[in-house]
Structure 1
């Protein structure tokens, strides 16, 4: 599957903002709801024996919420006033979201720095690489340079490595024909980020392996 997108039926302006906002709300609602539940337990006089469990739930959910916000600021937003990001700090953003899951991530990015578009593409690509391993496996994230081209690559290897139909469409820059918009928008956002920077996104899927490669101007 290569980078080749039709221009019809693709979201723009408010429609695109609505889809991104919807995904973020979906991501935030789980830890936010868990924090609220933990606080309700703390206030319930009949549930004082569950105080330790409530505090643990609040702590874990707050950590998840902070990780989501930090990731989203770079992956979907304008991030900070910084114009460049180090490989180490980008790795921390991704690991903050993916740690504790079934898949492991090997961050082989090194210490080079990345522009905002490159950073946005890299962490979205890394997250989607890990997401291609719902039953576990190994995700390897690497970067290489060739002349004026910077290649960001994610390899997902596992017995059930796969991409959903929505993700396949999004990664090809194609409109969503069926399925869930929430499963489509982040892959499409990655394609849009790479495409708008003058790059190309290539996706390959075979038994036990999914590879995402973004070729961007360096």
Structure 2
């Protein structure tokens, strides 16, 4: 099965671009409502059904905003053009915020010099999402990397139970699943593998005991 990677990235970029504005407008409107409510009630927080509705909308719009940031980098052209890991780290942090999985991705890790490698930021972020998928009961995703633009390795470790990819996701990641076999659950793994191949990365997934899974990308 072949995919025109550029067409896919352009489509993802367009979808994210078209959705960012309305989601941002919702958040701006909520801020205005909260300011008006504070003025009307002398600084007292909004109460009753109105206050609960505002909180619910705020939570949902913030979640939508975080997801769009991830999709823009993971699937769109923006991820391929990144020259540093800061945006991807922030996006991954937002993705995992409030969930059962924590992210261990220190600042300046990997070195931003590695980010000059074409597609490395996109690959890293997609591997973090796969690692989170493997931790169905929560755990810790750890990010490391070493090397240079010319040669190096990214490592993403999923620690926690069960610490394993579903067999259908592993098959999709390897590129062995047909179009008919792909599902909404496995399409991310499939795209992760195809993006990595297109940018010249060799992906491996290695179990390390019963509660750890190690993803590596070499170039």
TM over 0.5, shorter chain: yes
In structure 1, the partner of 2:188 is: 186
Q: 2:85 aligns with which of 65, 75, 87?
A: 87
Q: 3-state DSSP class of the match of 1:203?
A: strand
Q: 2:214 aligns with which of 199, 211, 214?
A: 211
Whichever structure has more strand as a proportion of its residues is 1
Q: 2:199 aligns with which of 172, 197, 200?
A: 197
Shift of 1:101: 0.8
In structure 1, the partner of 2:95 is: 97
Partners of 1:166 and 1:181 within 8 A in 2: no
In structure 2, the partner of 1:12 is: 3
In structure 2, the partner of 1:58 is: 57
In structure 2, the partner of 1:70 is: 69
Shift of 1:146: 6.6
TM-score (norm 2): 0.72
Specify every segment of 5 or more residues in structure 2 that has no aligned partner in the other structure, as ranges.
31-46
Partners of 1:145 and 1:151 within 8 A in 2: yes
Shift of 1:166: 2.2
**Aligned partners of 2:179 and 2:94: how far apart in 1?**
32
Task: Please say if 1:112 is aligned against 2:112.
Answer: yes
Query: Larger Cα Rg: Structure 1 or Structure 2?
Result: 2
Q: Measured at CA, do residues 106 and 166 of structure 1 come closer, stay the same or move farther in structure 2, by a change above 3 Å?
A: same
**Aligned partners of 1:180 and 1:191: how far apart in 2?**
13
**Aligned partners of 1:118 and 1:61: how far apart in 2?**
30
Partners of 1:132 and 1:163 within 8 A in 2: yes
Partners of 2:69 and 2:91 within 8 A in 1: yes
Deviations 1:64-96 (A, max 9, x none): 11111111111101128x933322221001111
TM-score (norm 1): 0.72
Specify every segment of 5 or more residues in structure 1 that has no aligned partner in the other structure, as ranges.
1-9, 40-47
The alignment of Structure 1 onto Structure 2 pairs a total of residues equal to 184
Higher RCO, 1 or 2 (CA under 8 Å, sep at least 6)?
1
Q: 3-state DSSP class of the match of 2:103?
A: strand
Partners of 1:170 and 1:187 within 8 A in 2: yes
**CA RMSD after TM alignment:** 3.2
Q: 3-state DSSP class of the match of 2:77?
A: coil
**Aligned partners of 1:70 and 1:137: how far apart in 2?**
23
Shift of 1:145: 1.1
